[in-house]
Amino acid sequence: MGIAEHPVASRIPRPTPRPSVHDGGLEFMDLARRPDGPRKLADYLNSDEPQISLHIVSFTDATLVSLSWSHTFIDAMAMSAIFNAWVSVLDGKEQDVPPVCNFDTDPLSTLGTAPKEPSVLATHQLSGLNMLSFGVRYMWDLFWHRDAQRTIYLPAPFIQSLKESALKDLQALQSQPQSPNSPTPPPSFVSEGDLLCAFLTRLATLDLPPTSETPIAIQSAFDLRASLTPTLLPPPAKGICLSNAVFITAAFTRARDVLGNPLAHTAAVVRNAIVAQRTPEQVDALAGLTRAAVAQSGRPPVFGEPGMRMVVFSNWTKAKFFELDFGAAVAGGAGAGGVRPSFVNLSGESSGLSPRGSWPILGKDSSGGYWVQGNLRTDFWERVETEIAGL
C-alpha cells in the first residue's frame, strides 16, 4: 500500500509553510521496531539481542528506516558515524569508512580523575536538603501530571525572522554600558541552536506569570568528542569513538527574564554558558564532579536551585541525519543520488526517568526548517499549540 493508506504512517509529520505541532515520536513506535524488540536494559542483558538493530518498513511510495539502540552504547554523533559508514559502503566507498578507536580501551578512562581547575558549575550543585527538596517537588509534579510528546516544525522563513530579530536585539545588548558588577557581557554572536533553545525555553515557561522569579535551568547536551580532540581523542579520520560521550552545559536565569526580554537575551545566556563550560579543562572538571557524585550517591550531579524548572536540550543538527543520501540503495536507481530523509523521528523509552522538560532538536531539513520534539505535561500542550498557531 501507499504510505497515505496506512492508519499510523499516514500521520507522520510533513513540512508546513507556518510553524505547526504534530503527533509525537512515540506514536510511531510500532513502525520502528518489531513487537518483541528490546525495551529496557534487562531485555539486552537477559538475551542475545545485539545493541543495535535495523528495522525497515516498505510502502509502494516510501521507506521507513529505523535503528534501535541502547543509549548506554552510543549517542547521536556515534549513530551519525554509523549511518555515514553505511552510506559509504552502499556507494562502494569502503575506503572512506573510518576505524573505530575504542573497542579494546576506553580513551575517556582518565577523564575527571585529576582536574586542573574547579568546575564553574560546582557552586550550583544541589546537595543535602536542597537536593531532597528538588527531588520531592519533581516527583510530586510527575505524580499529579502525565507527560505527552509532540513534534514541532519551524519552517525556514520563521527561523530567518528569529535570526534577524536576534541580531538587532544582540547589537542593542552589546551597546549597553556594562557595570563592573554586571553579569558576563553579551557574546559577539548567537547560533541558530542558541536561538532555538531560547525560543523553546519561552514555550516551556508560558504557564508562569511574566514576573515569576522561578529559577530556570537550561541544560544543553554536547558531544565530548568536539571538546576533547585531540587532547584525549583522535581526530575523526583516525578513529571514531563509538560510545555514549555526552555531557551537559547549564545556563541559569529566571522566568521573568525569559518571558520579559527578547529571545536574544536568553540566547546570550546559553551562548555564554557554552563558551565557559566546553573547554577541555572545564569538561575535565565536570567529569570530576560527576565521578564524585556517582561514587557518593549512585547518580550524576544536578545543578540549579531546589525550585527550578529544568529545560533540557539535545541538538542533533550536527549529526546531519537529513543530509544522508541513500540513493545507492534505490532499486533500479543505478546509484542515483539525492535520496535523503524527509523526516527524522525519535522514539525512546526509559525506566524510572521522565523525559519531561526535554527538547530533542532533530535537525534541519533540506528546506532549512527545523524539526523539534517536546516533552511536556499533557495539560500544557494546549497552551503551547495555541502559541504556535499564532506565530
- The stretch 277-298 carries a mean pLDDT of 95
pLDDT bucket at 234, cuts 50 / 70 / 90: confident
What's the rounded Cα separation, in Å, for the pair 291 and 285?
Answer: 10
What is the pLDDT at residue 181? 60
Which of 71, 96, 106, 379 is flagged as catalytic? 71
What is the pLDDT at residue 230? 79
pLDDT bucket at 332, cuts 50 / 70 / 90: low
256-283: b (≥16 Cβ within 10 Å) or e? bebbebbbbbbbbbbbbbbeebbebebb
What is the pLDDT at residue 333? 57
What's the rounded Cα separation, in Å, for the pair 73 and 51?
Answer: 7
User: Is pLDDT above 80 for 352?
Assistant: no
Partnered with residue 85 across adjacent β-strands are none
Number of domains observed in the structure of the chain: 1
Count the neighbouring beta carbons within 10 Å of the beta carbon of residue 167: 13
Q: Yes or no: say if 283 and 223 are a contact pair by the CB < 8 Å rule.
A: no
Q: Where are the beta strands (DSSP E) in the chain?
A: 20-23, 52-58, 63-69, 147-154, 215-223, 246-254, 309-315, 358-364, 370-377
pLDDT bucket at 116, cuts 50 / 70 / 90: very high
What is the pLDDT at residue 236? 74
Domain with residue 209: its CATH number is 3.30.559.10
Side chain identity at 309, as an amino acid letter?
Answer: R
Report CA-CA distances (Å) from 25 to 82, 113, 347, 356.
Answer: 22, 38, 5, 14
Determine which of 171-180, 242-251, 296-305 has the lowest per-residue pLDDT on average.
Answer: 171-180
In eight-state DSSP terms, residue 358 is E
pLDDT bucket at 270, cuts 50 / 70 / 90: very high
The pTM score is 0.93
What is the pLDDT at residue 336? 59
pLDDT bucket at 70, cuts 50 / 70 / 90: confident
- The stretch 260-286 carries a mean pLDDT of 95
Which of 91, 141, 207, 325 is flagged as catalytic? 325
In eight-state DSSP terms, residue 237 is G
| H helical segments located in 59-155 | 76-90, 128-144
What is the pLDDT at residue 349? 78
For residue 363, the SS3 value is strand
What is the pLDDT at residue 335? 55
- The stretch 268-286 carries a mean pLDDT of 95
Question: Which residues form the domain of 97?
Answer: 3-389
What is the pLDDT at residue 232? 79
What is the pLDDT at residue 300? 92
What does DSSP say about strands 215-223 and 246-254: parallel, antiparallel, or unpaired? antiparallel
What's the rounded Cα separation, in Å, for the pair 351 and 353?
Answer: 6
What is the pLDDT at residue 87? 93
What's the rounded Cα separation, in Å, for the pair 82 and 75?
Answer: 11
Is residue 325 among the annotated active site residues?
yes
Q: Yes or no: say if 212 and 254 are a contact pair by the CB < 8 Å rule.
A: yes
- The stretch 29-47 carries a mean pLDDT of 89
Residue in the block written with cell 555515514: 84
Is residue 55 among the annotated active site residues?
no
More confident residue, 184 or 287: 287
User: Is pLDDT above 80 for 279?
Assistant: yes
Determine which of 101-110, 114-123, 308-317 has the lowest per-residue pLDDT on average.
Answer: 101-110
Report CA-CA distances (Å) from 40 to 46, 48, 52, 71.
Answer: 10, 14, 13, 10
What is the pLDDT at residue 364? 96
